[in-house]
Structure 1
Amino acid sequence: MIEGSKRRRRPLLLLSLAVMLAGAGCSSGPNESASPNGGATGSAGQPEGQKKAAEKITFWHYLNDRHELLVGMAKDFTGKTGIEVDVQLFGGDGFKQKIIASAQTNSLPDLMTYSGGAGDLAKLIETKSVMELGGKMAETFKKFPESVAKAYAYAEGNPFNVKEYGTYAVPMDTNNMQFMYNKDLFAKAGVAEPPKTWEQLLETVDKLRAAGITPFATGIGSWVIGPMAAPYEFAYIGKEKLLDVKAGKQPLIGSGYENVLKIFEDLYKHKAFADGISTMDLPKAEQMFANGEVAMIFDGSWAIGVLNQMNPSFKNYDAFLPPKPAGAANDVKITGGIGVPLVVSQQTKHADAVLKFVDYLVAKEQQQQYAAKSFNLPANMDAAKSESDMSPALRSFSLGMQHVYDTNGMYPSPNVDTAMQKGVQLIVIGQSTPDKVLKQMDEALQKALKEKK
């Protein structure tokens, strides 16, 4: 899953606090009481014949760039159901803390977008602050890719020690990382379609260079190395062996990991990289791609919105899955997960109404509208597969959710990843080799395993 800084600059992570809450954010108002079916009955002593107050739910979110879209969808939902939705925006970096503080005072809203990973949500589950949704929305969860549906699921033996097993969040959107390419520059170099194998990718790089076009840029100077390497970890090593290698149960040297590092060496030898690649961050690479200075970039689906902001006239591009090398025994898998999870308060007095609204938000029609207007991937796979107003790149990223891995494991120390990242930064400028970097990674791994004993 891509979280926090790794989902990065999408507008949903920016800007400041926009709305202040006057009182408790959820449930009924001071003159309402809960009816047996979760609706508000109105105040005691209500004059006979007076119209019953509409059921009303409160929805908190942090999506600055999508507030008006969500308000419009809420109004449409009210028109169809009679259930009112008070959509409240709390932008900025303090949203997670606001949720935690509200949970501690039993003042969570009926529904919220959650900002945090499975470990963060586990803390709210322990305090019985949020509702288990898997049992109540089993049919809804069938709409999503399996890896996405279980991102916030907790089963026996889960690493967060959650005892109340179940699924506690519904995905409103998703994200993943793939290669993107400029169709005009490909055509100029005589490349008719995106490469399907690693060998074809290298041939494409050669054709681009021959046409005087810089082939590739990405954030090699930042966190992007890990997600770019991940598809080839799966392809060359396989999921089960990879988990064992990272846990120290099988040796790293001899595992095939040198082939993973070799993809960066291949790109260096074929002169794929833009100048300054070893220290380049992703925003710089995105600006180059948006301006037509490079033909390809490795980036996340959120980049579609970023590119639109950088250069609204830049439209003729698409995405493709990391090409599989001929010598790899396994399929490639890509980094991805839930972008925005929806979580329901355990204390809501309007459970049926809230779940009905969640179902509405993730239905095919609304997911298509959400994707087209927000540049974010639909979680609903029927929406992803259908012909709609999504751009070609957005649709390619959406279909890519079927190839997202559920886990690639963790080394016992971040020093192993650091050794890999620093080593790759040297490989891409010809100052190190896969064998040298692999040895450095293994030294860090063995040290960590020794300290762990």
Structure 2
Amino acid sequence: MMKRTLMTSMSLVLALGLAACGNGNSGGGNAAEGSGDAATGGSGEKTKISYWTGDRHDADFVKEKVAEFNRANTDGIEVELVVKGDDFDTALDLSFQTSDAPDVIRVKENTIQTFYKKGFLAPIDEFLTDELKAKFPAMPDLNEFDGKRYSLPNYGTTMRLVYNKDLFAKAGVENPPTTLQELVDTAKKLTEAGKADGAYGFALNFKSPSSAFARSARVIAEMSGYGGFGYDFKTARYDFSGLEPIINAFKQIKDDGSMLPGVESLDIDPLRAQFAEGKIGMYISYSSEPGVYKNQFPAKIDWAAAPAPTIDGMVKGASGFLGGQWLSLSSKSENKEAAWKFMQFMYGDQVLTDYQEKGFGISMVPSISAVAATPDVNGIEGFLPNKNDGVWPIYPAVAPEGMKSDDAFFKYMLNGGDLKAVIADLNKRYNAALDSAIANDGIKAEPDAGFDPAGLGGKFAK
């Protein structure tokens, strides 16, 4: 079993402030954006590089910083910012097939390992000084693979239930739900109170089932003591049975008519826009939301964040803390030195400090968190790390034959059927893929009989 190392105490984490940060799966279509005029070198020629990101919550901020770099650098470097939506991974795959790959890539905890294995990333060790190595924490299996560094951290992410306090008051609901049954019941009450005005109790961005479940079912499972991606670290086998009550609860909410109509085609940004208008009572997401409702979709409602519910109200695990990476250098870049100069600018103290102070995310970099002010952003207090947040080990990602788990679960939510049979089929196919990856791809998956999910709480990557 691959494990993350460099664990530290809760007090250090609070000092680092790992709160309101970017989501892993921002949507809203594609946009390619020019980013200002570049300074030119002595020859007058420009070195053009591209930076691709799937994040939209901080797109205006990043665009501003890219334009600043383009104006100020004296090396004749011009950066083009390309902002993708939920098709980021697919577009990146295609770009490497067509020799049109970007020079700098936004990577996340659920993508960097895959991109590394596909050969998309180049190590950055040759560019790292001793000072940079000391400044930015190395996190095995998150930004470091086989002893080489592929990214540096910026901010960290927690996951919470986001809820509409105005609709809660209108429905006479005093507290956010702490169990799955309460989630179902609360969604129903909120819908009864708000349906006349077009408001519904619950929603998720099911245009991308993987994005929807990664921000919701995952954290409920992890808080309840189960691996959020269906992997059992004790046995080193896939077992999706821990997700059964969660998927059934989501299906019940939809069957009750308590879920926003049209979630089948709902992307995350349209969901946020609806929530900001008061049309959604609850959803579960990452700690990017405070910045979103300040900068991207100013909220017209009173809202807050609370811990995600667990299956039965008991916390038997930890809400997965995410982070440790941000920008990576493309293996296909023909201008790696120029790309690194841009990355070095983005990892500069001023950019990282501004990122936190403007509410886009609270830094994981100790030297930044020590001096940067906590952002004055509504709702951020609900996302601050607590004793039930923690880092889970890295699970061995595999590519099964047939339908992926997220798509299979959403199909069941829409059409019904036998969920136990669906789970049995997933277990069979995922474990076959795991066995193949162990035999042929060098993947390691070793049982850890003493693994204790409850022991993860309050501990984060250093």
> Structure 1-normalised TM-score?
0.62
Specify which of 184, 189, 193 is matched with residue 166 of structure 2.
Answer: 184
Q: 1:197 to 1:386 in 2, by over 3 A?
A: farther
Q: Return the alpha-carbon distance in structure 2 between the equivalents of residues 85 and 411 of structure 1.
A: 42
What are the within-5 Å matches in structure 2 for residues 348-387 of structure 1? Answer: 358-361=347-350, 365-369=353-357, 371-372=358-359, 375-376=360-361, 378-380=363-365, 383=369
Partner amino acid, structure 2, of 1:8:
S
- Larger Rg: 1 or 2? 1
Aligned residues: 385
Q: Return the alpha-carbon distance in structure 1 between the equivalents of residues 125 and 50 of structure 2.
A: 14
Q: Return the alpha-carbon distance in structure 2 between the equivalents of residues 150 and 200 of structure 1.
A: 36
| Residue of structure 2 equivalent to 1:117 | 112
Q: Return the alpha-carbon distance in structure 2 between the equivalents of residues 379 and 315 of structure 1.
A: 30
Structure 2 residues not aligned, in runs of 5+: 1-21, 54-58, 85-90, 440-462
Q: 1:330 to 1:409 in 2, by over 3 A?
A: farther
| Residue of structure 2 equivalent to 1:317 | 303
| Residue of structure 1 equivalent to 2:416 | 431
Q: Return the alpha-carbon distance in structure 2 between the equivalents of residues 283 and 212 of structure 1.
A: 21
Specify which of 271, 289, 302 is matched with residue 285 of structure 1.
Answer: 271
> 2:180 touches 2:309 (CA, 8 Å); kept in 1?
yes
* Fraction of identical pairs, as percent: 17
Q: Does 1:205 align with 2:192?
A: no
Q: 1:318 to 1:386 in 2, by over 3 A?
A: farther
Q: 1:86 to 1:299 in 2, by over 3 A?
A: farther
| Residue of structure 2 equivalent to 1:15 | 32
Partner amino acid, structure 2, of 1:217:
A
Q: Return the alpha-carbon distance in structure 2 between the equivalents of residues 387 and 192 of structure 1.
A: 32
| Residue of structure 1 equivalent to 2:326 | 340
Q: 1:358 to 1:278 in 2, by over 3 A?
A: closer
Q: 1:347 to 1:305 in 2, by over 3 A?
A: closer
> 1:416 touches 1:445 (CA, 8 Å); kept in 2?
no
Q: 1:303 to 1:5 in 2, by over 3 A?
A: closer
For residue 387 of structure 1, report the CA deviation from its aligned partner.
6.5
Partner amino acid, structure 2, of 1:9:
G
For residue 180 of structure 1, report the CA deviation from its aligned partner.
1.6
Q: Return the alpha-carbon distance in structure 2 between the equivalents of residues 87 and 221 of structure 1.
A: 37
Q: Does 1:140 align with 2:140?
A: no
> 1:235 touches 1:330 (CA, 8 Å); kept in 2?
yes
Q: CA RMSD in A?
A: 5.4
Partner amino acid, structure 2, of 1:231:
V
Q: Does 1:422 align with 2:422?
A: no
> 1:265 touches 1:434 (CA, 8 Å); kept in 2?
no
| Residue of structure 2 equivalent to 1:243 | 231
What are the within-5 Å matches in structure 2 for residues 156-167 of structure 1? Answer: 165-167=147-149
Deviations 1:253-272 (Å, cap 9, x if unpaired)? 7x544334334245347653
Specify which of 143, 151, 164 is matched with residue 142 of structure 2.
Answer: 151
Q: Return the alpha-carbon distance in structure 2 between the equivalents of residues 168 and 385 of structure 1.
A: 26
Question: Which fold has the larger relative contact order, with Cα–Cα distance below 8 Å and residues 6 or more apart in sequence?
Answer: 2
Q: 1:383 to 1:396 in 2, by over 3 A?
A: farther
Q: Return the alpha-carbon distance in structure 1 between the equivalents of residues 192 and 101 of structure 2.
A: 60
For residue 319 of structure 1, report the CA deviation from its aligned partner.
2.8
For residue 326 of structure 1, report the CA deviation from its aligned partner.
2.7
| Residue of structure 1 equivalent to 2:284 | 298
Specify which of 426, 430, 448 is matched with residue 441 of structure 1.
Answer: 426
Q: 1:410 to 1:352 in 2, by over 3 A?
A: closer
Q: 1:258 to 1:30 in 2, by over 3 A?
A: same
Secondary structure of 2:153's match? strand
Q: Return the alpha-carbon distance in structure 2 between the equivalents of residues 121 and 250 of structure 1.
A: 23
Partner amino acid, structure 2, of 1:169:
S
For residue 389 of structure 1, report the CA deviation from its aligned partner.
3.4
Partner amino acid, structure 1, of 2:145:
Y
| Residue of structure 2 equivalent to 1:92 | 82
Secondary structure of 2:154's match? strand
> 1:225 touches 1:421 (CA, 8 Å); kept in 2?
no
Secondary structure of 2:273's match? helix
Q: 1:192 to 1:354 in 2, by over 3 A?
A: same
Q: 1:120 to 1:279 in 2, by over 3 A?
A: closer
Q: Does 1:194 align with 2:194?
A: no
Specify which of 244, 247, 251 is matched with residue 261 of structure 1.
Answer: 247
What are the within-5 Å matches in structure 2 for residues 54-65 of structure 1? Answer: 65=60
Q: Return the alpha-carbon distance in structure 2 between the equivalents of residues 324 and 211 of structure 1.
A: 25
Q: 1:59 to 1:70 in 2, by over 3 A?
A: farther
Q: 1:446 to 1:376 in 2, by over 3 A?
A: closer
> Structure 2-normalised TM-score?
0.61
| Residue of structure 2 equivalent to 1:159 | none
Deviations 1:205-244 (Å, cap 9, x if unpaired)? 3442453452101123423343122224434554599535
Structure 1 residues not aligned, in runs of 5+: 32-57, 156-164
Secondary structure of 2:316's match? coil
